[in-house]
Structure 1
Amino acid sequence: MTKVSVTPKDDARCGWFHTAPARLPRPAHRGEKAVRWAVIGAGFTGLAAARQLALNFPGDEIVLIEAQEVGFGTSGRNAGFAIDLPHDIGADDYIGDIGIAKTTLQLNRLGQNTLRDLVEQHGIDCHLRSSGKYQAAVENRGIAVLDAYRRGLDKLGEPYEMIAGKDLPAHIGTAFYRQALFTPGTALVQPAALVKGLADSLPGNVTLHENTAITEVDYGDKVALTHANGRIVADQIILANNAFGARFGFLKGTVLPMYLYASLSRPLTEAEQSALGGQPFWGVIPADPFGSTVRRTHDNRILMRNSFSFNPGQQSKPHCLERFARNHRQSFERRFPMLPKVEFEYTWSGSLALTQNHKGFFGQLAPRVYGALFCNGLGVTRGTVTGMLLADMVANKYHPLMDFLLDTSGPNRLPPEPFLSIGVNATLWWGQMRAGREA
């Protein structure tokens, strides 16, 4: 018997969740149920896995279990970039091995195209747009990163545009950045709205139970999943709950539960939109990983996302929300001096499941147990494609990309505590100090 001692409990003020179209949550599970398949976690990975299982086994009921409301957890808290390009931060040109990079590109684009098709097929109101992304820099170190990545994209044969600082206001309004690398393949989306729409368009043989946190698992001849109001017994399960997968008895000591913080402004007035200028919808990611991600949304809000904390207990920290909201205000004011009276309406945290070697897990964890876990910050596209392919793998449907995922699967084991927390917190402090004006 495995006790699941920690369950998801995210903070309440996620701007994406509250500005997405409202939906009626599906009822929590009560009583006893026996099924062939259960999927744990209704984020991008779990939704994709449950959908594909339902298509592969149309005569079976697939149970999808979510600890909170759909869209309230990690998948609804990211910055909404569905990125296609590989980005190997350990390589000098951020591309690295060309064979791995090309296969990674195929994976990401399969996930991206799958989401596009579902949005179109089901009319999901999530403002998915093929807008590309700007990777922007202020400091000399950031400029060097852009130049290195440009060389990697040349090697990969992918298109880009290098934009000088003087030309950037026509694109993103602000004159804050010195240079940006624009790549056209990224899609931008309202992530909570997308997740909610995916949940409400699942096939009829998927039963979704929200607000059903699993607290105990018995891995016997069948897998018994116990929660506060009953039990679900499944022939086989898929773990698609990212960092919380390690709480189910597998891959312990391999994942870093990091939290990243974001604030979303009120909508800009027409006068403020005119003062800002630039395009009406765009996204900027930082050249420095500790810098700020910035978006102008479909409803003319500004998103600021920066500042990290290491939360090994996997719970949000209210004092960090207050502190990092001040960071967001400073970052906003540096970039948008023309918007002096625009306040934030929402500030929230979101979990990232990072591994030391930047590898997730894909495949079988034990008899009757499979997992697609640890997306390393690429949950929109990578979560979608790994959930879908894992559901095909268990149905004995072969796809060439499965071999790549199986061969490159497996996170490294992390150092023990207290050395882990000391090292991670020191790295976060130094990284955020070193980011300088990129933050």
Structure 2
Amino acid sequence: MKVQALPADDNTCGWYHTSTPRTPRPSHRGHSEAPWVVVGAGFTGLAAARQLALNFPDDEVILVEAQEVGLGPAGRNAGFAIDLPHDIGAEDYIGDIRIARTVLKLNLSGQAYLRQQVERYGIDCQLKACGKYQAAVEERGLAVLDAYRRGLDKLDQPYQMIERETLPEHLGTDFYQRALYTPGAVLIQPSALVKGLAENLPANVTLFERTPILDVDYGSRPELRHAAGRITAGKLVLANNSFGQHFGFLQGRMLPIFTYGSLTRPLTPDEQALLGGRPYWGAIPADPFGTTVRRTPDQRLLIRNSFSFNPDGRSNPKHLQRVLQRHQASFARRFPMLPQVTFDYTWGGALAMTRNHNGFFGQLAPNVYGALGCNGLGVTRGTATGKLLADWLAGERDELIDFLLAAPGPNANPPQPFLSAGVNFNLLWGQYRAGCES
């Protein structure tokens, strides 16, 4: 079958350009065969390829990436390796306590796996185990913090509620009314992390970059074709999130939602003193349509907000100028003491969302497997599901694998044009309702 759409991300991602440059691995040419082929070198694919190589040390594992490692969605997120579950459909944002405890274990396993690789290989990705703030401005946001606090009590997880008077000691800005601080989140420079993971793969992993797959034959030995050759797999693993739809699976079950980030130039020492607060931190909004903010260890400020629905999963340049204006306004509201600070980079990045917030884990077809649909938790959830899929393929079973296999998977979406109309309306309405949280 012909692959229906190819990745096409903008070239303006600040994380990519401010991380250490690397020489991309060569594109694939000719014909190759391997017992294992993994498509997608983001967090899920890197973890799957690494663990397959460790589980099957005598087998070659081919890892195929359509773009460059670090340039795609894995290198474009806000850089939060989240530990805690956050069920936005539940009254207390925790929901079923049994499920929440298992999700917590799943997220922690992904987080621990990444920290292990960073420490083992000395990956310079600004990793900081400094927790995160969930900050609110308006009454709706404050109510969310109270509800989530009740959920965290039920889950027996630590937190600290920080009031407006003392928040500037943490964040510098006095913009927020209250924040819920949880200590378990880890902050990273995402593009630097995936670049580092790619540079330290086991010897029996062969990585090919800039090799977009154009056609797939799902025979007894799946065959991937591209412009300069083909790759035959004993078993094929899809770790390309929403692009799994374009490979013929889970069609009409995933929603490529783009969100947008801007990164400032580095703050001068005088500007750092004007800002005050802690030297690095991350704050997510109480309202899911609000603004995420980070102060990075290299003293840049990140603003991330605004959404668009791009059904083909490809970046659309027309959105960047519009969101830049929003980011400038969001920055000015939070940091009026820094009027001369400008953005160096503005970019978009895709989230592989599903309507019921469930991803897919398991077998898609004979000799074809997938871990797809991270629902905005690609750093931890993608890492965990990639590793666990490789363990399952090696015959292992445990609580987390059984949990993932038993999950219902993504719900079906309404047909077009109703889908685009409904998603775009909800995105616009959500951003409007976010008010000052944006």
Where on the TM-score scale, by shorter chain, does this alignment land: which range?
over 0.9
Contact preservation (8 Å) 1:362, 1:409: no
Q: Distance in 2 between matches of 1:405 and 1:57?
A: 22
Task: Tell me the TM-score normalized by structure 2.
Answer: 1.00
Q: Which residue of structure 2 lines up, in the alignment, with residue 339 of structure 1?
A: 338
Q: Which residue of structure 1 lines up, in the alignment, with residue 37 of structure 2?
A: 38
Give the partner amino acid of 2:168: P
What is the deviation of 1:166? Answer: 1.1
What is the deviation of 1:278? Answer: 0.2
Question: Which shifted more, 312-321 or 176-185?
Answer: 312-321
Q: Distance in 1 between matches of 2:405 and 2:35?
A: 24
Matched position secondary structure for 2:423: helix
Q: Distance in 2 between matches of 1:5 and 1:137?
A: 41
Q: Which residue of structure 2 lines up, in the alignment, with residue 151 of structure 1?
A: 150
Runs (5+) with no aligned partner, structure 2? none
1:59-104 Cα shifts (integer Å, max 9, x gaps): 1110000000000000000000000000000100000000000000
Q: Distance in 1 between matches of 2:315 and 2:45?
A: 22
1:99 has 2:81 as partner:
no
Q: Which residue of structure 2 lines up, in the alignment, with residue 113 of structure 1?
A: 112
Q: Which residue of structure 2 lines up, in the alignment, with residue 352 of structure 1?
A: 351
Matched position secondary structure for 1:214: coil
What is the deviation of 1:14? Answer: 0.1
1:253 has 2:257 as partner:
no
Q: Distance in 2 between matches of 1:414 and 1:5?
A: 18
What is the deviation of 1:12? Answer: 0.5
Q: Distance in 1 between matches of 2:272 and 2:173?
A: 12
Q: Which residue of structure 1 lines up, in the alignment, with residue 299 of structure 2?
A: 300
Q: Distance in 2 between matches of 1:185 and 1:103?
A: 16
Q: Distance in 1 between matches of 2:359 and 2:164?
A: 36
- List aligned pairs for 1:49-88, cutoff 5 A: 49-88=48-87
Contact preservation (8 Å) 2:262, 2:347: yes
Contact preservation (8 Å) 1:389, 1:399: no
Question: Which shifted more, 310-319 or 88-97?
Answer: 310-319
Q: Distance in 1 between matches of 2:79 and 2:411?
A: 28
What is the deviation of 1:409? Answer: 4.1
Q: Which residue of structure 1 lines up, in the alignment, with residue 380 of structure 2?
A: 381
1:294-328 Cα shifts (integer Å, max 9, x gaps): 00001100000000000012211111100000000
Matched position secondary structure for 2:214: strand
Question: Where in structure 1 do 4 or more consecutive aligned residues deviate above 6 Å?
Answer: none
1:193 has 2:192 as partner:
yes
Matched position secondary structure for 2:338: coil
What is the deviation of 1:399? Answer: 2.2
Matched position secondary structure for 2:356: coil
Contact preservation (8 Å) 2:45, 2:240: yes
Q: Distance in 1 between matches of 2:130 and 2:295?
A: 11
Contact preservation (8 Å) 2:324, 2:346: yes
Q: Distance in 2 between matches of 1:85 and 1:399?
A: 20
Q: Distance in 2 between matches of 1:107 and 1:179?
A: 29
Contact preservation (8 Å) 1:143, 1:287: yes
- List aligned pairs for 1:23-34, cutoff 5 A: 23-34=22-33
Task: Tell me the TM-score normalized by structure 1.
Answer: 0.99
Q: Which residue of structure 1 lines up, in the alignment, with residue 361 of structure 2?
A: 362
RMSD after superposition:
0.5
1:385-421 Cα shifts (integer Å, max 9, x gaps): 0000000111112222111011114100000001111
Matched position secondary structure for 1:435: helix
1:356-389 Cα shifts (integer Å, max 9, x gaps): 0000000000100000000000000000000000
Contact preservation (8 Å) 2:73, 2:350: yes
Q: Distance in 2 between matches of 1:409 and 1:67?
A: 29
1:4 has 2:13 as partner:
no
Q: Which residue of structure 2 lines up, in the alignment, with residue 212 of structure 1?
A: 211
1:176-195 Cα shifts (integer Å, max 9, x gaps): 00000000000000000000
Aligned pairs, how many? 438
Q: Distance in 2 between matches of 1:35 and 1:429?
A: 46
Give the partner amino acid of 1:394: L
Q: Distance in 2 between matches of 1:244 and 1:255?
A: 9
Q: Distance in 1 between matches of 2:55 and 2:219?
A: 25
Q: Which residue of structure 2 lines up, in the alignment, with residue 414 of structure 1?
A: 413
Q: Which residue of structure 1 lines up, in the alignment, with residue 270 of structure 2?
A: 271
Q: Distance in 1 between matches of 2:184 and 2:220?
A: 46
Q: Distance in 2 between matches of 1:372 and 1:276?
A: 42
Question: Which shifted more, 302-311 or 395-404?
Answer: 395-404
Q: Distance in 2 between matches of 1:49 and 1:137?
A: 37
